[in-house]
Chain A
Amino acid sequence: MWIIFRREIGQYFASPVAYLIAFAYLLLTGLVFNNDLTSSLTIRPADPAVVPTFLSFGMVFFAPVLTMRMLAEESREGTLELLLTAPVRDSDIVFGKFLSAWFYYTVLLLLTIVYPILLLSTTPNLPDLGHFIAAYIGIWLYGGATLAVGLMFSSLTENQIVAAFLSTSALLLLYLGNLAGDIVADINLANLIRKLTLGGHFSPSFAYGLVRAEDVAYFAGIIVIMLFISIRVVESRRWR
């Protein structure tokens, strides 16, 4: 599994596309951070969760792009077939790829921590550290979940674009479900829908600095289920 992990990481750092994605990621998060900073100067405290909150929207688009090629390309190029003849478990293949994507995401996330550090070095006022950490833990898990979804869709098809499209749609659905209340009249149904969404487990809790066990369970659950499905799909290739 780790061999696959290492290779995939190498792919991320050797692929110009990945750098392009990282560029967009850093640029956008940088803009968001600075925007919040300038608009809060002397008026209100800076929002420690500003970058994570942006990413909760941004990952809907970043995750599919980061994962679309992972399994789709392998099956199209035929390398998946070869992988399946190697003494490697199917689950190892999926885990190795997922962990590499999550790792890359974690690296990008850690890079965004540079922003508040830069700020800290210039003013003596410490922001709410706990709030900050909680928001980052939340978006880290959130990112893992979106990447797992992207990987799952990548396993279903040989066409990267289709994979990207499907996972973007799915993630968008999971993200916008937060607005269920605007559409659905029955409050209980709307609440249930909210419980299924990504935002519903980040905005009312992690974004405020609160770490709830049920939110952790939600994200972990999504990761587990998506990876499970991916493994089944990879296995099913043996029947095609």
Chain B
Amino acid sequence: MIEVQNLTKRYGNYLAVDNISFEAQPGEILGLLGPNGAGKTTTMRVLTGFLPPNGGKISIAGFDVMTDSMQVRRQVGYMPERIPIYPDMTVEGYVTFWAKLRGVTRPRKRVAEVLEQVQLYDRRRSLVRNLSKGMRQRLGLAQALVHDPKVVILDEPTIGIDPQQVIEVRESVRQLGQNHTVLFSTHILSEAEQVCDRVIIINKGHIVAQGRPSDLRQQLQPEVSVYVQVGGGSEAEISTLLRQVPGVNGIEAQGAGYSLRAQKGVDIRPHIFDKVTKAGYKLLEMRPVAMTLEDIFLDIVGR
């Protein structure tokens, strides 16, 4: 549904996006994850047909963004980070305007539908200027969905709203994924983890990693860690013993026990078990510790 090959975008001399490539399948929820200034918004703007790229081939639903820009725009719904408002229009009027502009054939019906969908139907006659921030978010979403696009692109949809609404928005995004291909950007990592089918981590204009959250964890986690709590000996004895477990790269005191980093591909759990029991100590607790995406992310970004 979305195909990006070698996308490059410059602002003057500043290289915002450098030769990135990725894909999104129909019905996928794709997350663009990265710190501020990474190039997320730029990438999205290119996909919406707003910015022309300096290089690369991008197509959405089979249409090239350069040669078939108008078609692309019909297939894409876009919700920018700052919801653009026309203060003096009614909610209904606002959505109807965008509906007509995007070529919706039966605007009234469709507008009512989408307002229901975002739960703004009972405020449809209010003036946009009188809406709260959360409602404006929903309004922005309504405008992006009204023409039933194949692709929905959301730029930081959970910024600046209260936690309750954040949860609502994430839920909405998940639901969207059932019928649309969704691309949304965030710099909140847990969000990406929770909501997306796949994640693209982008930094300084480059893709540093992409894949399913679980795969990413696996792929990028340099080592598996195991948390062990051993009883029946002194700290010095236990730590020395643990260090000797084959396949252990390093050991760290963590809380009441130790966190052991294993070499890649080595499952040290049986070795730990053997070592501890043979030494006559008691294995009180042993569990694998997964690196969170957060850790991976900070790690990668830190590089």
Spell out A's residues near B (CB within 8 Å): 3-4, 7, 10-11, 14-15, 77-89, 238-240
Q: Any chain A CB within 8 A of the CB of B258?
A: no
Min CB–CB distance A17 → chain B (angstroms) = 10
Which 9 A-B pairs have CB atoms at the shortest separation, nearest pair first?
A78-B84, A79-B84, A87-B73, A85-B48, A87-B70, A3-B100, A86-B101, A82-B84, A85-B50
**Is A78 a contact partner of B82 (Cβ separation < 8 A)?**
yes
| Binary per-residue interface labels of chain B (51-91) against chain A in the complex, 1 for a CB within 8 Å, 0 otherwise | 11000000000000000001101101010101111101100
Q: Any chain A CB within 8 A of the CB of B273?
A: no
Chain B residue total in the interface (Cβ 8 A): 28
**Is A85 a contact partner of B100 (Cβ separation < 8 A)?**
no
CA–CA, A79 and B97, complex, Å = 12
> What residue in chain A is nearest B140 (Cβ atoms)?
A82
> What residue in chain B is nearest A79 (Cβ atoms)?
B84
Spell out B's residues near A (CB within 8 Å): 11, 48-52, 70-71, 73-74, 76, 78, 80, 82-86, 88-89, 93, 97-98, 100-103, 143
CA–CA, A87 and B69, complex, Å = 8
**Is B48 a contact partner of A11 (Cβ separation < 8 A)?**
no
18 sampled A-B residue pairs with Cβ under 8 A: A11-B88, A15-B88, A77-B84, A77-B85, A78-B82, A78-B84, A79-B84, A79-B85, A83-B101, A84-B50, A85-B48, A85-B50, A86-B73, A86-B98, A87-B101, A87-B103, A89-B70, A239-B51
**Is B84 a contact partner of A7 (Cβ separation < 8 A)?**
no
Chain A residues whose CB sits within 8 angstroms of the CB of B100 once the complex forms: 3
Count A-B pairs with CB separation below 8 Å: 59
Chain B residues whose CB sits within 8 angstroms of the CB of A79 once the complex forms: 84-86
Q: Which of B50, B83, B93 has the most CB of A within 10 A?
A: B50
Chain A residues whose CB sits within 8 angstroms of the CB of B86 once the complex forms: 7, 11, 77, 79
**Is B52 a contact partner of A238 (Cβ separation < 8 A)?**
yes
Min CB–CB distance A100 → chain B (angstroms) = 13
**Is A239 a contact partner of B102 (Cβ separation < 8 A)?**
no
Chain A residues whose CB sits within 8 angstroms of the CB of B103 once the complex forms: 87
Cross-chain contact of B73 among A7, A14, A80, A85 (Cβ < 8 A): A85
CA–CA, A14 and B89, complex, Å = 9
**Is A81 a contact partner of B101 (Cβ separation < 8 A)?**
no
**Is A7 a contact partner of B50 (Cβ separation < 8 A)?**
no
> What residue in chain A is nearest B76 (Cβ atoms)?
A85
> What residue in chain A is nearest B51 (Cβ atoms)?
A238
Chain A residues whose CB sits within 8 angstroms of the CB of B70 once the complex forms: 87, 89
Chain B residues whose CB sits within 8 angstroms of the CB of A11 once the complex forms: 86, 88
Known: A86-B73, A87-B102. A81 touches B97 (CB 8 A): no
Cross-chain contact of A81 among B52, B74, B84, B89 (Cβ < 8 A): B84
Min CB–CB distance A148 → chain B (angstroms) = 23
> What residue in chain A is nearest B10 (Cβ atoms)?
A239
Chain A residues whose CB sits within 8 angstroms of the CB of B48 once the complex forms: 85
Q: Which of B48, B86, B97, B101 has the most CB of A within 10 A?
A: B101
Known: A78-B80, A87-B70. A239 touches B50 (CB 8 A): no
